[in-house]
């Protein structure tokens, strides 16, 4: 019996072949995911560092200011999140138009257009910064009009006037970043951002704490650090690190500004609605009947920490924007679609990890930001809302990055308007004031807005006809490239 021949029943061979094919497909899928993950992390890793380093310029200033007193902390929070947030959000949004244009042009091999796009964006953003600057000048009265306390409004108003030079640094920095990012030169950007942050930390300690310059010292260091970053990146470009993409200053930068403004405005509205949503919620917190200063400080600390952590999905946002725009520009729609799935899954995993860390350290991490026991207790009380926000924010920026890479800014603007303001803001006001839930109610409304937006963007993303998007990308690149053709050789100087 032991030597009896193995009996093969009908269908055994077919089952074995199916198993082999299934195993082969599984191995191929795993290999494909690993390959895409390598590409994604190559971009996302340095992009995360860049986002963390540059956000830390604000966060470090706010952290040092928190040790000056509760009023100073609230004033810097209002200056950074409300007043500076207006300029930051709008200029960053307008600059993000380059993610679509430069990314798709790079994928299509139209390198010479990248430098022209960047110069056009410089012109538009500098004019925009000039138009926005009165908001900084009249920040104090604006905050009072919004119902903030007289003391916080006055201090925040003075701080906002001092950081006006920083506004114009944004106008140069964001286009430079998108220009370099589209070429995957993110490692160099990370080194430059890290060096500027190190300088900023040293100067902040020296000017705010050691020399006792207070909030004036905080404003001076912020201005210096942002302009240092601009000049370091600009030197990197001008010294020949971007051959083909940078061919010199060109008169073509002044051509077709109308069309460029149109796509820049769509990008600005898309991102501004996100920034303004959080900004208005901070203002709502300041109107609560309880101790408004403690509520504002606690909310600012949580948003500060969330701002640090969200830089990770923002890094994935930058990476997926480059991947999608490059693949669509190169005419590879299936590769773009696959990259989206890998990016969402990876970012969500990271978000869950941070959520667990926040919940474990909910009673200890507030001490990093303030010495006030009342503020620390309030931060611990609302930390569960912070943890949930972190998970939702691990998905939303990635989907926004897909939208930017594909050029859907106008559509997402309507989505953001409806979800943030019709759903989120209405719910926040209702829960916070009508049902007297305070900070938890306002934050709960914000979460509802995030959830609504995430659901709609997910449906849009995963029902997209990627072949059609690749065709649209080809048409877009061809249109802009044709408009830049010249018949003379005297356009560069």
Q: What is the mean pLDDT of residues 374-389?
A: 89
What would you measure as the largest C-alpha separation in the chain, in angstroms?
97
Share of the chain above pLDDT 70, in %: 89
Question: What Rg, from alpha-carbon coordinates, does the chain have?
Answer: 25
SS percent in the chain: helix, strand, coil, step 5? 85, 0, 15
Beta bridge partners of 492: 250
Q: How far apart are CA 157 and CA 63, in angstroms?
A: 19
Average pLDDT over residues 13-20: 58
Closest CA to 270 of 315, 220, 216, 321: 321
Whether the Cβ atoms of residue 303 and residue 282 lie closer than 8 Å to each other: yes
Q: Tell me the per-residue pLDDT of 25-63, one tens digit each, with 9 for 90 and over.
A: 777 778 888 888 888 888 888 888 888 888 788 878 887
Query: What average pLDDT is seen over the chain?
Result: 81
Confidence grade of residue 437 (pLDDT, cut at 50, 70, 90): confident
Q: 401: how many CB neighbours lie within 10 A of its CB?
A: 29
Highest mean pLDDT among 63-72, 363-372, 396-405: 363-372
Which helix (DSSP H) or strand (DSSP E) does residue 347 occupy? Answer: helix 333-360
Task: Assess whether pLDDT exceeds 60 at residue 488.
Answer: no
User: Exposed/middle/buried for 37, CB within 10 Å: 0-12, 13-18, 19+?
Assistant: middle
The whole-angstrom separation of Cα 274 and Cα 301 is 19
Q: Round to whole Å and give the CA distance between 186 and 196.
A: 15
Q: 475, exposed or middle or buried, with CB in 10 Å at 0-12, 13-18, 19+?
A: exposed
Q: Identify the CA nearest to 110 among candidates 404, 492, 482.
A: 482
pLDDT at 487: 37
Cβ–Cβ under 8 Å, residues 223 and 217? no
In the DSSP assignment, the letter for residue 492 is: B
| Tokens linked to 81 | 């999140």
Report how far residue 8's alpha carbon sits from residue 470's, in angstroms, rounded to the nearest whole number: 50
Burial class of 109 by CB neighbour count within 10 A (0 to 12, 13 to 18, 19+): exposed
d(CA 79, CA 131): 18
Beta bridge partners of 250: 492
pTM of the model: 0.73
Total number of residues shown for the chain:
493
Residue range 247-288, pLDDT digits in tens = 888 787 777 777 777 777 777 777 777 767 776 777 777 777
State the Cα–Cα distance between residues 246 and 107, nearest whole angstrom: 16
Q: What is the pLDDT of residue 358?
A: 93
pLDDT bin (cut points 50, 70, 90) of residue 165 is very high
pLDDT of residue 6: 47
Would you tell me how many other CB atoms lie within 10 Å of the CB of residue 20? 10
pLDDT recorded at residue 492: 47
Q: 10 Å Cβ neighbour count for 256? A: 15
* Helix locations, 212-310, DSSP H: 214-236, 257-286, 292-309
117-158 pLDDT, tens per residue?
Answer: 888 889 888 998 999 899 888 888 888 887 777 887 888 888
Q: How many Å apart are CA 412 and CA 267, to the nearest integer?
A: 9
Q: What is the DSSP string of 301-329?
A: HHHHHHHHHTHHHHHHHHHHHHHHHHHHH
pLDDT of 292 reads 65
Q: Does the pLDDT of residue 236 top 70, yes or no? A: yes
The pLDDT of residue 149: 75
Give the count of beta carbons closer than 10 Å to the beta carbon of residue 150: 10
Confidence of residue 168 (pLDDT cuts 50, 70, 90): very high
How many other C-beta atoms can be found within 10 angstroms of the C-beta atom of residue 26? Answer: 10
């Amino acid at each position: 019996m032991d030597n009896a021949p193995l009996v093969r029943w009908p269908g055994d061979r077919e089952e074995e072949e199916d198993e082999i094919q299934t195993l082969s497909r599984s191995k191929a899928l795993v290999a494909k995911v690993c390959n895409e993950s390598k590409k994604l992390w190559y971009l996302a890793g340095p992009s995360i560092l860049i986002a963390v380093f540059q956000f830390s310029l604000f966060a470090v200033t706010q952290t040092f200011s928190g040790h000056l007193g509760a009023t100073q902390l609230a004033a810097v929070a209002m200056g950074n999140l409300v007043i500076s947030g207006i300029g930051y959000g709008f200029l960053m949004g307008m600059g993000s138009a380059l993610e679509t244009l430069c990314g798709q042009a790079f994928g299509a091999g139209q390198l010479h257009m990248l430098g022209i796009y960047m110069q056009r964006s410089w012109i538009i953003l500098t004019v925009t910064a000039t138009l926005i600057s009165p908001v900084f000048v009249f920040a104090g009265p604006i905050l009072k009009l919004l119902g903030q306390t007289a003391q916080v409004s006055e201090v925040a108003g003075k701080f906002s006037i001092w950081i006006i030079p920083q506004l114009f640094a944004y106008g140069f920095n964001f286009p430079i970043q998108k220009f370099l990012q589209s070429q995957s030169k993110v490692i160099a950007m990370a080194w430059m951002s890290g060096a500027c942050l190190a300088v900023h930390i040293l100067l902040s300690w020296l000017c705010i704490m050691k020399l006792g310059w207070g909030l004036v010292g905080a404003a001076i260091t912020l201005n210096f650090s942002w302009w240092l970053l601009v000049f370091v990146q600009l030197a990197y470009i001008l010294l020949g690190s971007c051959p083909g993409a940078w061919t010199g200053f060109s008169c073509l930068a002044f051509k077709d500004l109308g069309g460029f403004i149109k796509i820049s405005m769509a990008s600005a509205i898309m991102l501004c609605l996100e920034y303004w949503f959080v900004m208005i919620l901070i203002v709502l917190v300041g109107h609560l009947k309880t101790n408004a200063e403690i509520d504002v400080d606690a909310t600012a600390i949580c948003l500060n920490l969330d701002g640090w952590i969200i830089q990770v999905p923002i890094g994935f946002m930058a990476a997926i924007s480059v991947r999608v725009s490059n693949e669509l520009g190169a005419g590879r729609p299936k590769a773009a679609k696959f990259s989206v799935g890998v990016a969402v899954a990876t970012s969500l995993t990271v978000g869950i990890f941070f959520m667990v860390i926040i919940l474990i350290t909910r009673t200890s991490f507030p001490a990093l930001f303030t010495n006030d026991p009342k503020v620390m207790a309030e931060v611990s009380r609302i930390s569960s809302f912070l943890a949930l926000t972190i998970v939702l924010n691990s998905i939303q920026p990635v989907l926004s990055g897909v939208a930017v890479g594909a050029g859907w800014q106008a559509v997402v603007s309507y989505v953001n308007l409806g979800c943030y303001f019709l759903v989120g803001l209405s719910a926040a006001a209702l829960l916070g004031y009508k049902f007297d839930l305070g900070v938890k109610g306002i934050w709960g409304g914000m979460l509802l807005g995030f959830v609504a937006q995430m659901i709609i963007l997910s449906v849009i993303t995963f029902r997209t006809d990627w072949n059609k998007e690749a065709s649209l990308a080809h048409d877009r690149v061809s249109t802009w490239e044709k408009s830049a053709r010249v018949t003379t050789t005297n356009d560069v100087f």
